[in-house]
Amino acid sequence: MDKNILSGIKKNSTIELKFVDLTYEGLGVAKHEGLAIFVKGALPGESGKVRITKVEKRFAFGEIINLDVTSPNRMPVENKMLDSTLPLQHLSYDKQLEFKTKIVKDVFAKNTLLKDTVIRDTIAAKDEWNYRNKTQVPVRSVKGKMATGVFANDSHRLIPVDDFKINLPGIDEIVTGVRDILISFDEKPYDEGTHTGNIRHIIVRKSSRTEEAMVIIITRSKSLFPKSKIIPAITERFPNVVSIVHNINNRRTSAVFGDKSEILFGKSSYEEKLAGKSFDVTAQSFLQVNIPQAEVLYEKALALLNLKGTETVLDAYCGIGTISLALADRAQQVIGIEVIPAAVEIAKVNAEKNGIKNVKFECGLVEDVIADLEVSLDAVVVDPPRKGLEPAFIDALLEKKPGKLVYISCNPATLVRDLERFVEAGYELFDVQPVDLFPQTAHVETVCLLSRRSQ
């Protein structure tokens, strides 16, 4: 017999619950007759009436009807429509930091080999709001009019939002301004059901240090009409826009970018400053969205490496070279590896832009390039995507036997999985340090050091 039947819980029923924890996604957790119930917007210590919205065999979901007891850590919600993008906006910032530390601790505690690892307290962000240097906003029709906003949870129903609360000042204004200009020239929003309409996304990237901004308009068709009027309308309204890119995505897909791009105005990049260096950033370049906290993260990584200036260092997943160029100041030689050819070209431009000559960038899969390297590696920095390191790369890296390895991770689960491999192979783990780059969200970055034990 299904456990949900034993619990007596049915969809649309209402029950009184007391919340005892948060999931790693920030949902409140309550228990009812042994069944876990997850509720958005609830905090530990709170209790109240909940309507059940979905029932599975081992758990259920609900929504708050009213709270009889509220947490002293509850904060006023900036915008309820942003629940899907800011799942922790109702939690005080000091408790957000405790929550993120707990996320990392809990993942380590589940691993037999790493369960006794000491996890440092999460480093707070300088700005809790208005920190993101990039926004990627879908465009759809709402009540017959082109709108920009966010998708409702588990759907592609657009909720109009003009102020995202966490974007750098000026970014939201550019998004809504570009949208209104497109409306004035009778461009149509994309309809994914019928695969008609044209404007799919508006993306804005902006530096708080240089104030330069880039606008990327993603369309279904090749046309953006009339370009001769749309482009000057944008640049006259927003003089800090130094680049306008038109990307075409004519596929039925949830992927944002298509394969073809055209520079409609200005440069192919905008300028960002990070850790005392200047970087050209293109439309699809990876760059941490919170620059001040990225500097904190990278400085922690450099401190852990404690380079003397004589080392050869590998920067895997180097992107446009942000970490590589920081390493170059403190190492004899840096080798950056990146699989995306366009990113490698920009990384080379950025090295030249900053007058740095002791960095070499290689294009290819990290596991292939490292296997072909003929130099010995004193230290390695890895900053992989959420899926973590490929087993083939770990194997190739262990063959090189670097003395130190700094791992920067955006996913504690894959971090722990990969660290286990290195510890089993004779490395010792030090200084697991979470850093908050994404206030009001459940995401956390972690940086740590692995040092090879002497044989």
Domain ranges of the chain: 3-74, 134-274, 290-452
Q: What percent of the chain has pLDDT over 70?
A: 98
Whether 318 is catalytic is no
> Residue 44 has which token pair?
């530990």
Where do we find the tokens 């075409």?
248
Question: Over 80: is that where the pLDDT of 2 sits?
Answer: no
Which tens digits make up the pLDDT trace of 299-323? Answer: 999 999 999 999 999 999 999 999 9
| Cα(46)–Cα(68) distance, integer angstroms | 8
Which tens digits make up the pLDDT trace of 218-236? Answer: 999 999 999 999 999 999 9
Kind and range of the H or E element at 228? Answer: helix 227-237
Task: Respond yes or no on whether the N-terminal peptide bond of residue 384 is cis (omega within 30° of 0).
Answer: no
How many CB atoms sit inside 10 A of residue 121's CB?
11
Q: What CATH number belongs to 134-274?
A: 2.40.50.1070
Specify burial of residue 449 (Cβ count, 10 A radius: 0-12, 13-18, 19+): buried
Which tens digits make up the pLDDT trace of 327-347? Answer: 999 999 999 999 999 999 999
Mean pLDDT, residues 270-294 taken together: 97
Which tens digits make up the pLDDT trace of 143-169? Answer: 999 999 999 887 889 999 999 999 999
> 3-state DSSP call for residue 95?
helix
Residue type at position 310:
T
Question: Over 60: is that where the pLDDT of 50 sits?
Answer: yes
Residue-averaged pLDDT of the chain? 96
Q: Sorting pLDDT into bands at 50, 70 and 90, what band is 426?
A: very high
Q: What percent of the chain has pLDDT over 90?
A: 94
What are the residues whose beta carbons fall under 8 Å from the beta carbon of 291, sequence distance 6 or more? 133, 207, 208, 209, 272, 273, 274
Mean pLDDT, residues 188-211 taken together: 97
Question: Over 90: is that where the pLDDT of 66 sits?
Answer: yes
On the question of a common fold for 134-274 and 290-452, the answer reads no
Superfamily of structural domain 3-74:
Nucleic acid-binding proteins (2.40.50.140)
What per-residue confidence (pLDDT) applies to 3? 45
Which of these CATH numbers, 3.30.360.10, 2.60.40.60, 3.40.640.10, 3.40.50.150, describes 290-452? 3.40.50.150
The pairing of strands 28-32 and 14-22 is antiparallel
Is residue 258 within 8 Å of residue 198, measured between CB atoms? Answer: no
| Cα(270)–Cα(214) distance, integer angstroms | 6
Question: Over 60: is that where the pLDDT of 4 sits?
Answer: no
Is residue 262 within 8 Å of residue 245, measured between CB atoms? Answer: yes
Q: Sorting pLDDT into bands at 50, 70 and 90, what band is 455?
A: low
Question: Over 60: is that where the pLDDT of 119 sits?
Answer: yes
> Residue 289 has which token pair?
């969205």
